[in-house]
Structure 1
Amino acid sequence: MKTRNIIVAMVLPFMLISCVSSKKYKTLQSQYTDSESRAKSLESSLSTCNSDKATLTSQKASLENENGLLNKRIEDLQSQNAFLKENSTQALSQLESMSVISKQQSESIKQSMENIGAKDAYIQTLQQQMAYKDSLNMALVMNLKGAIGNMDDKDINIKVDKGVVYIDISDKLLFKSGSYTVTDKAKAVLGKVAMVLKNQPDIEFMVEGHTDNVPYHRDVLLDNWDLSVKRATSVVRILQKDYGMTPAKISAAGRSEYRPLVDNNTKEGRALNRRTRIIILPELDQFFKLLEPAAKK
């Protein structure tokens, strides 16, 4: 029994030492593992910091470059501002000089502006009266075309040109070749024209005779002048005697070959140039009477 106790007493310390050393080992091993884990974490943080540092360094360089450009822009703007201030001072000085002139002339300028306003109003009235006159001319043209009916455009043409109504009748319709006697067919056409014109008692008109450039001489007619006048007066007599047109409102004229519509070098061209033209004369007296009220304002 003693021997057993002695052996237990001897072995127990060794067993206790062995237990304590194993615990400490495990603790140290755990601490080492934690340290290793923290080291790895720190290494990762260091890498991230280095990357952030590189990014910040690049951004810093970019900002420094932008700052340099902005400083240059500021210098340029300051230079421009100084230039504008200098010019503004000169401009103000000039305006001050001009203001003296404008004060001296203000009444004259005011009067001029009033005159311009009055002229603008007069021009507007004139334009209105011109438009009114044009509308009357167009109505007259439409009445003439309606009265004459479906005539060949080669024989008769009615138009408005520059505010004047023209009625062109070919000599093929009005006269036989080399004659100044109006044909029966033409008399019917002249009767329709007279019917419209008689409804406008205040208008005046002129009958013009036109020829081609082929020389003409027969009986009492010496040349194309004589022929053109004779044809115009023949038409005037028909309008007066047959259709009761007031002779005081009619004029007759001969233009000979000197107002051609086209070149006389072709047969067709010469046929177009041989014509009688009735011109509705502008009623200038009545037109200016319309403007008198506006002119007095």
Structure 2
Amino acid sequence: MKFSIVAPAVLLVVALGTGCVSNKKFAELQSNNTKLQQSNEELNQKLRASESDVSGSKIRIKSLEEQIAAEKSNAAALQAALNKCLNSTSQGNVNISKLVDEINSSNKYIQQLVNAKNKSDSLNMVLTNNLTRSLSREEMGDVDVKVLKGVVYISLSDNMLYKSGSYEISDKANTALSKIAKIITDYKDYDVLIEGNTDNVPIAKPNIRNNWDLSALRASSVVQALQNSYGVDPKRLTAGGRGEYNPIASNDSPAGKSQNRRTQIIITPKLDQFMDLIGKAPAETKP
């Protein structure tokens, strides 16, 4: 919208039309007309600037409206993501709580196993001490006592029991056998297996065919000694030989062969008898 300043020009024409004016008056009118034209131009410039500002403001308003719409969309998306996260966190807390319970239960079970093992080790130690309390320090050097799964294994070296290369009981074995016989007699409700074992060196005796014969004969010699010399009830005794086929060490060295040449006295109590063996050991007998 444009504003035109026409009043001065009209007045000038009217003035000229009505008559002659003085030069001074004419110059004054002309000066006023020039000023009015300049003012009109300035007003037109301000109008154009205002229209430009209004157009720019409209553009900025539209841009701001678009930004506001985008921010609202982002806010809605963030809220949806937050709600999903909260739901997931709630479910995650349930899963974490369940996992913690499982870990605690597992740790408790592990601790129970550790306690059971410690108790088992302690019981085995008590039982071993009870079984060997009547043996001297020297005799303990040739006697190995172990408790495995409620079964007592008393292992005697062949050097302690037999004459070299023979199944005959040696004189020095009598003291140890007498004390082992006392243990067996004290716990009269337990079955006893005497098991002979050899190394892998073939036997060279005319009356012994192989290591099977030697291991069985040695076990039989111990059984008969316990029966005949120490009064152990033979109904409780079993003699068996395993030859060279139950080694506990390598036969590649003299030390390993020495460990494999052994006789085991295996006492097999039932569970209630096993506990009784621990809790009611016989009185200590001095060597």
TM-score relative to the length of structure 1: 0.53
| Match among 271, 284, 290 for residue 258 of structure 2 | 271
Q: What's the C-alpha RMSD, in Å, of the aligned pairs? A: 3.6
Once the two structures are superposed, the pairs formed by residues 147-296 of structure 1 within 5 Å of their partners are 147-151=134-138, 154-283=141-270
How far residue 170 of structure 1 moved from its aligned partner, in angstroms, is 0.4
Contact 1:210 1:259 in 2 (8 A): yes
Seen in structure 2, the aligned counterparts of structure 1 residues 180 and 264 have a Cα distance that, compared at 3 Å, is same
Seen in structure 2, the aligned counterparts of structure 1 residues 143 and 81 have a Cα distance that, compared at 3 Å, is closer
Seen in structure 2, the aligned counterparts of structure 1 residues 285 and 82 have a Cα distance that, compared at 3 Å, is closer
Distance in 1 between residues matched to 2:263 and 2:224, nearest whole Å: 14
Contact 1:207 1:235 in 2 (8 A): yes
Q: Which residue of 2 aligns with 1:144?
A: 131
Between structures 1 and 2, the one with greater helix share? 1
| Match among 72, 78, 81 for residue 80 of structure 2 | 78
Distance in 2 between residues matched to 1:181 and 1:164, nearest whole Å: 27
The residue type paired with residue 76 of structure 1 is L
Contact 1:165 1:279 in 2 (8 A): yes
Q: What are the superposed Cα offsets for residues 18-37 of structure 1, whole Å, 9 maximum, x if unpaired?
A: xxxxxxxxxxxxxxxxxxxx
Contact 1:204 1:283 in 2 (8 A): no
Contact 1:137 1:164 in 2 (8 A): no
How far residue 191 of structure 1 moved from its aligned partner, in angstroms, is 0.4
Seen in structure 2, the aligned counterparts of structure 1 residues 83 and 160 have a Cα distance that, compared at 3 Å, is closer
Local SS of the residue matching 2:134: helix
Local SS of the residue matching 2:164: coil
Contact 1:208 1:277 in 2 (8 A): yes
Task: After superposing the two structures, state which structure 1 stretch, 205-214 or 134-143, moved more.
Answer: 134-143
Contact 2:197 2:260 in 1 (8 A): yes
Query: Where does the alignment leave 5 or more consecutive residues of structure 1 unmatched?
Result: 1-67, 92-123, 288-297
Identical counterparts, % of pairs: 43
Contact 1:143 1:196 in 2 (8 A): no
TM-score relative to the length of structure 2: 0.54
Local SS of the residue matching 1:261: coil
Distance in 1 between residues matched to 2:147 and 2:120, nearest whole Å: 11
